[in-house]
Structures are given as structure tokens and as C-alpha cells.
Chain A
Amino acid sequence: MKKRIKLTDLDCAACAAKMEEAIRKIPGVNSATVSFLTQKLTLDADESRFDEIVKQAAAVCKKIEPDCRLNP
């Protein structure tokens, strides 16, 4: 399943790259891109565990940039 998720308060481009890399490492993620300019995460992941994976992605983002939030 593929979904675009808006990211609020994504203020640092280097962090966006780090988030992208970290989210790709979550098990069940087929592909992920974080666009700093559109402030969006495009996530393609295992459908049966999608919600759980989004939660993990949110945690990863919080770790890298504490202000940044996912709005699924």
C-alpha cells in the first residue's frame, strides 16, 4: 500500500535525508521518500501492518527531529 503523509515542522533538509534512510530500514517498508520541499513522506509498505509501520516511522522522525510530526 502506498500513501503520502504530510509532515509538519520539517525544518531541516539534512534531517529529511536521515529520516528517509531510517524509515527505509523499518521492516515491512518497500520504499520511502521524504521530500523536504513538499514536506511529504511517500511510504510504500506492507498493507497488513501499515498502521503499525506508520507509528514506527513517526517515532523515528521524532527521534531525528523532535518538532516534526506526521499527519496521516
Chain B
Amino acid sequence: MNHKQKRMLLRICVSAVLLVLLQFIPTTGFFKLLLYLIPYAVVGGDILWKAVRNLAHGQVFDENFLMCVATVGAFWTGEYPEAAAVMLFYQVGELFQSYAVGRSRKSISDLMDIRPDSANLEENGEMRQVDPEEVQVGDIIVVRPGEKIPLDGIVTDGSSSVNTSALTGESLPREVGTGDEVVSGCVNLNGLLRVRVSRPFEESTVSKILELVENSAAKKAKAENFITRFARYYTPAVVGGALLLAVLPPLFFHGGWNDWIQRALIFLVISCPCALVISIPLSFFGGIGGASRRGILVKGGNYLEALARAEIVVFDKTGTLTKGTFRVTAVHPEQISEQKLLDLAALAESYSEHPISRSLKEACKKEPERSEVSDVQEIAGQGVRVKIGGKSVSVGNAKLMEQEGVHGRECELTGTIVHVAVDGTYMGHIVISDEVREDAPEAIAALKQLGVRSSVMLTGDAKAVGEDVAARLGIDEVHAELLPAGKVEQVERLLGQKTGRGKLVFVGDGINDAPVLSRADIGIAMGGLGSDAAIEAADVVLMDDHPSKIADAIRISRRTLLIARQNIVFALGVKFIVLTLGALGFANMWEAVFADVGVSVLAILNASRALKMKE
């Protein structure tokens, strides 16, 4: 509690004690009124003052003013204890509300506690602490164990494991060493790191993320806008209703003035739409905060809301569902052992820097003896022909085999097939393909389970490769051999296929797919760590490379929406019930105060659940 809240608490206590004491003092008439005005003034003096001040500014439908009219009215009709108590409970509610909002604000800012306070700049062998904003590109900074990495850069010296959980939600630390890139916001766990800064602070990952999350409050969900619009009409309508209730029955239907004024006052007590105005944005902000804790950055409440209705999810293949790196996935030797075939191919390709030869080298796990290789002939688009130990070795595709007069066996697997022949004899082939991400099948299954109608994969790759990956992952529809413009066309066509309020989600790695990302209802970019393009183009950014986070995002979205809806129904429901009961003469001031502040507090508590996302 801050100073302001503590003082309020003191006033509430004093007023409450006075009010209880007054119950034991037998008084009547004017003297009783005077006595009850003491606790009233103690607890509600500032409200009266604010009401007068705001009225002078022309704020008729001001919460403070309406509360004053309600309580002064109650004094007028002789309900002295009620008048003082309503003001007391109103203040208790306000205090609790301000405390709860303060707590939520704090937990949100804790979530976003990735901003580094200082950087250790190394100059001429000396280290001094500076503001991260003062550090320039190319400077060397030192990050000690336990410290946050303040700026993006490249490790020049040292090795350590870093905790990226604040950015990615991934709890497993990542190992880094000399030459590796590190991003700001991660925590250095055990070793000392020297880092050459690669981006100024304003462009660092931390600044980008913070800006994105803060900006997200500006893009409001439809539900939030509805509440704001609703609030604009609610208060005037209820106050108007109160006026009619106070005046009409006594004038035209022989009602008692006192009775109907009391009923009208109940209306005034419930006239503030606070419960909704606070709790709905809080739910969305909490949802966005909870998502970002799990490495899912949502750029606005509107996108979080739309995610719940995902109907068609379109994936880019390379780099999204697959790792975009090539690896030996099968070895089919003839006559010799698997290892021999691999060694032979790697050795023949040892002078090449092609991704294929790199994956061959990786697969045979040892450095090839290059000295054994001579007479290297690279045949563009086909492969290589070399001499090893006096024998002619050819490594390449089917066309190369044809040239050698060798019959290369066809393979039932898809991918890039590398054939090997020695002195005109076929030795077998090696299959190299892009690896599917570990959690990709799970990601697709989870989407199906969430009721996503269809999953589609778009790829520029060969048809066979695309269909193979799609079949392995359980994807419904695949379109291969597409140019970037073709991807946009496909997305346009799919947009026409969705039903009613369903949404089309496109998931890409942010490279080359900016037009598609912006064309889709929701663009999700994967692997946002360090990639500016992805953060710029997408509506949702997954900070790590797990496509399974898409289902998580949809779950978070639906939960947030559920909480927001609960609040709308609960708050409006209680208010309308109490309004009706009040008009009919069945509700009293006490119930009205509960319907106002009690509901507010409960709605805020409910909304703060949106922050806490279950695993």
C-alpha cells in the first residue's frame, strides 16, 4: 500500500468506529443528523470536494458527484446511518479497487522486467558502469555471472550458459561461446562474457519487445471498444432512470415522495460502469502479459481476440515447420557398409562448401583426410568427380550417374538423393533432407484438437518433398512449387473459403513472407529473437522456434476472452438485477453498494487470473 492508500485506510477505520459508537447513542432529529455527519465527513469529505470541483468543470455524470447526490439524498430522506455507511462502503471498495489495480499493474511490470539498468563498458582495459543507452555499436561490454545482458552483440571472449526464459519462456539454458550471438534481456548464468555490441540500445531486442508490449495496449480489442461505448450511455441512462423514478410515480400515481426518492438513490449508487471499464482491459492486458511470459508476443488486444476464432492455419514450410537446415536422413549402401559410403561421399565432397557437402561432413562425424583426394572436378548442377587412392569416385545426382554410365537406383524416400559410384560401379546413395521440427506434428495435432478446421502448407519446394512433409505432419492441404506471389494468391483464395467470423492465420519465419503476413487476418512470425523483419511484419511473434506455441497462443486467447465475457455477464447481470429490485422497492442501499464496488472488486480479481497462465 502506498501513502495515499494508508491514509484512506485510517480515515475508513476512524469513520467505522464512530459509526458503530453512534448506534449506542440514543438521539433524534437535528442532533442525530449532526452526529452522523461526522463519520460521513471523515470518510467522504474528499469525494464531496471532488464532486463540487468536477461539477464546476461541467462533469455532470462524474462518479463522485453521483455518489454525493445519492448520500445527500439519503440524509434528506432521513436515512442517516445508511447515508454514512454507503459512503463508508464506497470508500472501502475504492480503496480495495485501487489496491487490486496497483497489484495487477505491478505484476504486469514485473513480467516485463527485462530492461537492464546498466552496462559494464570496457575501455582501455578498464571497466566502468554506464547507462546502456550510452554504449555504442562496436564497444566491448563485460557481462558477469548473474547479470542481464544489456545489449545485443557477439561474444568475443568467454563461454557461459544464458537463461533466455524472460524472452522465450524456455526454461532450458542456452550455451554460448566465442563468436555466438547473444541478445539483450537474457541472464548470464555462470561464466564471464565479453561482448562486442552489434546494435544500439534503442534497436536492441529488449527495447523492441518492451515497446511492442507497451504499444499493444493501444490496439484495443472489440470487446474493449464495446465497453467504452457502453459506458458512455450507461451512466446517463441510469441517472435519467433515477430522475424519472423519483418524479413520475409521486406526481402521477400518488406515490410517496420519500419512498420513490429512496429508490431513485439506489439507481445513482449503481450508476458507475467502473467494474467493466477496469476489468475488461485488465483481462486483455493480463492475457497479453501472460502470453509474453511464454515467449509469445501479441501486438494488440484485437489480435489476441481474433486468435480465438482461428479457422484456417496456413504454414510456410521451410524454417517454420522444418528447421531449414539439411541433414543426412538415410543411407542406402550397396556392397559396402553405411559408414564407408558416408566417408567416401564426404571425402569426395570435402573441397566443396555447398550445404549438401556440409551435411555429409557432419554426418560422418570426422574430419576427412583431404590429402587423399586429387583431381577434383566440380560439375555444376550435378556433383563432383575426384580421384581417391587411384580410383575415380563420382558423387552427385542421377544425371551424373547417367554420364558415368552407371544405373543409379531410385529411392522411395523424398529429399535430395546423392549417388556414389567408384570406377563405374554403383555404391549406393544417401538421402539428405530438411529436418522437421520436433514439435511440429504435435503442433498440428493440437490445432486440430482446438477445432481449427484446416491446416494448409505452402512451399516453394518440390511437390514430392512438400507432400511428404505434409503427410508426416498430418496437414490437410499442401501447395508446392510456389513463388512468393503464388503464396499471396493461395492465401487470398483461402481467405475466401473461411466461414463467417472465422480467421485465417499465416505462420512464417518472417523472411520473404512479409506480404503474406500482412494479408492474413493474423500473421504469426516464428523465431523473433534477433530478427527485425519478423518483429516488424507480424501481428504475433513467437520468440523461439516452436510451432506448438501457436496452439498455446490460441488457448491463451480463448481463456482471456472467457474471462472477459464472464466479467461482462456478471457485472451487467448483477447491476440489472439490483436496478430492477431497486425500482420495485426490494433492494436497499446496502445491496446497491455491493452491486457497485463489490462487483468491481470481484471482476478485477477475476481479470487478474488472465495473467496467470497454466502450463
A contact set with B: CB distance below 8 Å:
4, 11-14, 16-17, 20-21, 33, 35-40, 42, 63-64, 66
Contacts and interface: CB of A to CB of B under 8 A. Distances in A.
5 cross-chain pairs, A with B, having the tightest CB-CB distances, nearest first: A35-B217, A13-B278, A13-B277, A33-B218, A63-B57
Contact of A17 (B53, B228, B282): B228
Interface of B: 50, 53-54, 57-59, 63, 98, 101, 104-105, 108, 214-215, 217-218, 220, 228, 231-232, 235, 272-274, 277-278, 281-282, 285
Nearest to A32: B218
A12 B220 CA distance: 18
Given A16-B277, A17-B228, A35-B218, 11 more contacts: A12-B63, A12-B274, A17-B231, A17-B232, A17-B277, A35-B217, A37-B101, A38-B285, A42-B218, A66-B53, A66-B54
Dominant SS at the A interface?
Answer: mixed
Nearest to B278: A13
A66 B65 CA distance: 14
Contacts of B272: 14
B218 A36 contact: no
A64 B59 contact: yes
Contacts of B59: 63-64
B108 A42 contact: no
Give the one of B50, B217, B218, B272 with max A CB within 10 A: B218
Contacts of A12: 63, 274
Most buried by B among A16, A17, A20: A17
18 contacts: A14-B272, A14-B273, A14-B274, A14-B277, A17-B228, A17-B277, A21-B232, A33-B217, A33-B218, A36-B101, A37-B282, A38-B214, A38-B217, A40-B214, A63-B59, A64-B57, A64-B59, A66-B54
B104 A37 contact: yes
Nearest to B109: A38
B436 to A, nearest CB: 40
A20 B273 CA distance: 16
- Best-surrounded residue of B101, B228, B231, B282 (most CB of chain A within 10 A): B228
A63 B278 CA distance: 21
A42 B212 CA distance: 13
B220 A33 contact: yes
A4 B218 CA distance: 10
A66 B59 CA distance: 11
Contacts of B57: 63-64, 66
Contacts of B108: 37-38
Nearest to A41: B218
A20 B224 CA distance: 13
Contacts of B220: 33
A10 to B, nearest CB: 10
Nearest to A39: B105
| Most central of A11, A14, A17, A35 by chain B CB within 10 Å | A14
B174 to A, nearest CB: 30
A38 B54 CA distance: 24
Contacts of A4: 214
A39 B105 CA distance: 9
B54 A37 contact: no
A65 to B, nearest CB: 8
Nearest to A14: B277
A12 B47 CA distance: 13
A13 B282 CA distance: 10
A39 B228 CA distance: 17
A37 B217 contact: yes
Contact of B231 (A14, A33, A35): A14
Contacts of B232: 17, 21
A14 to B, nearest CB: 5
A63 B277 CA distance: 20
A35 B278 CA distance: 10
A19 B201 CA distance: 33
A66 B277 contact: no
Contacts of A66: 50, 53-54, 57
Contacts of B101: 36-37
